[in-house]
Amino acid sequence: MDYTTGELMVVAAAREIQDEEVVFVGMRLPMLAFAVAKRTHAPNVVGFYECGIVRDFPSEQLLYTMGDTPNIEGAQWCTSTNHLMFLMQQGNVDCGFIGGAEIDRFGNVNTSYIGNHNNPKVKLPGSGGAADIAGLSNRLLVIMNHEKRRLTEKVDYITSPGAGEGGNWREEQGIPRGGIGSLITTLGVMRPGGNNELELASIHPGIALEEVKENTGWDLKAGNNLTETDPPKPEELDVIRSIDPDGFWTG
Amino acid sequence: MKEKLETLEQAIKNHINDGDSVVMGACLEPMIPFAAAYEILRQKKKSLNVIAPISDILFDMLIGAGAVKKVTAAWAGNVSAGLGHNYRRAVEKGDPFPIEIEDHSNFSIGLALLGGAMGAPFLPTKSLLGTGIVESNPNLKQEVYNGEKLIYVPSINPDVAILGVQRADKNGNAHLWGNLGIAQDAAMAGKKVILLAEEIVETSDVDSDPNRVLVPGFKVTSVVECPGFAHPSPVQGYYQRDHEFFHTYHKETKTVDGFKHWLDQYVLSVSSHEEYLKQVGKERLDSLRIKQIKLAAPVNYAAD
């Protein structure tokens, strides 16, 4: 069955969600991943949207932002951003999705400044809720385009902490829990291995290991059980295409 | 009770001063008071410290027009397109002039306004430990409490909070529904509060559902009847988001000249909010209007 890279990434992201989990849903592809998980293997999942929305079923309509009117109609709870952050600070959020401009070998994500923050080469939009999700959720899931300039040895600025400098860095910083669960890219899926360094766990169908390595800014290790990413199932594609028939997010 | 109805022009003229710290929208993607931003630019207010978690392209246009001295925010850009061209030009090149940035996350800006609302000097959080945000924003302090590392977020009481609501009475009692973002915290923390309302209704309508009230009228300084105030952002029950407007803004503001042209077309060459709506076009606004009706179940407030 034919599918796009975007659709494969949505499905890979959806499979990171377990049934009955509370998920902090990020912008763009995660909004579709939540819908796929909900309508396939995780019918009891609950979604948090940082603008102050909780949903127990996804909107039937395509969302361009999480505050769009179809995301409020049929919501389970409309509340304040702080209330959702309070619950996450207590440990009530199982996993959260973010994107980013840059990520490094220890899974630290930068969405703030390229170059020195006092005199930056590029000013990126900033954290939004990403820094909070990275520090307070139980598992951080990151979705990014796989390019050498984006997957870099060391980020210029840690907006959303992964494992810092590796090892027990998070504990040393006092971060209460969490860390990277997986990084889903246009070429494969990575997970933390020894010393909490990101290692390649699966390669998307049709992609060569060399291509992944060439497009990664550090000496990428392949995990012990390197596999091929399972392609999307028809029922997963059905969900994506029912919501995004024109491929706005996944084309 | 004191009547607080003003025109948009009066509200901005009377309550916003050059150099003020101003919350401009606090619901994140929806309910952004764009009409107030346009009026601020028409009145050439200067040196503002603009505060919000995420207010989409509202910050970008204020920065590009030279009205901003400082941005206190979790995110500034264009939600549809990503980066904001004016924000980048100001930070990277000092064009039209340099701006100061106070970096926050959505939680830390929420706590800063909640702390302000509580009358507390700061609030502690376990978020932001190990982040660059703590380094680039020196106001955030790492402290230890009972052996546990925490970030102390100093409170913010903005000079003015400009917020959108669906309906208000003329005394400032207002209903806001849908996601709240940090609007209630901002309304409680604000030294002055300006409300832009889609509709002005009878007090008895607002009183019929006191649980939906944003803040009681005594906290509100000014109420503006301003249908369409949030365009191009959405208002639940009234109109949807005008996605295309954000994409067009992104394309047209790529250069300084392009931005100046955009600003002239939608803000400086129009005399009022009503003129702006005409410029956007009736057909376009009609196509965004909410056409279905989905009412909540009534609640019984009877005493006996």
- Distance from the A187 Cα atom to the nearest Cα atom in chain B, whole angstroms: 22
**CATH number where A9 lies:** 3.40.1080.10
Contact check, Cβ <8 Å, A66/B29: yes
Closest-CA residue of chain B to A124: B83
A196 in contact with B, Cβ within 8 Å: no
Contact check, Cβ <8 Å, B111/A82: yes
Give every CB contact of residue A223 below 8 A, 6+ residues apart in sequence.
A191, A193, A199, A200, A201
Instruction: Give the integer Cα–Cα distance in Å for A152 and B270.
Output: 47
- Structural domain contains residue A249: no
Contact check, Cβ <8 Å, A125/B75: yes
B27 in contact with A, Cβ within 8 Å: yes
Sorted by where each begins, the domain ranges of chain B are 5-119+158-288, 121-154
A91 in contact with B, Cβ within 8 Å: no
Average pLDDT estimate for A37-42: 97
Average pLDDT estimate for B149-166: 98
Contact check, Cβ <8 Å, B28/A52: yes
B254 in contact with A, Cβ within 8 Å: no
Helices (H), chain A: 5-15, 29-39, 69-72, 81-90, 130-136, 169-173, 209-214, 234-243
B212 in contact with A, Cβ within 8 Å: no
Residue A251 — very low, low, confident or very high, per pLDDT cuts 50/70/90?
A: confident
Contact check, Cβ <8 Å, A81/B53: yes
**pLDDT of the residue at B162:** 98
Q: Average pLDDT of chain A?
A: 96
- Structural domain contains residue A248: no
The CATH number for B5-119+158-288, chosen from 3.40.50.10190, 3.30.460.20, 3.10.20.740, 3.40.1080.10, is 3.40.1080.10
Contact check, Cβ <8 Å, A174/B87: no
**pLDDT of the residue at A83:** 98
The predicted-structure confidence for A216-226, as pLDDT tens digits, reads as follows 999 999 999 99
**pLDDT of the residue at A28:** 86
**For chain A, how many structural domains are there in total?**
1
**pLDDT of the residue at B140:** 98
Instruction: Give the integer Cα–Cα distance in Å for A65 and A22.
Output: 20
- Structural domain contains residue A21: yes
Is the confidence metric ipTM above 0.90 for this complex? Answer: yes
Which of A82, A117, A136 has the CB atom closest to B132's CB atom? A117
Domain that holds residue A18: 5-243
The predicted-structure confidence for A62-113, as pLDDT tens digits, reads as follows 999 999 999 999 999 999 999 999 999 999 999 999 998 999 999 999 999 9
How many degrees, rounded to 5, is the angle at CA B59 between CA B54 and CA B64? Answer: 155
Q: Which residues of A are catalytic?
A: 50
Instruction: List the structure tokens of B51.
Output: 């505060």
A62 in contact with B, Cβ within 8 Å: no
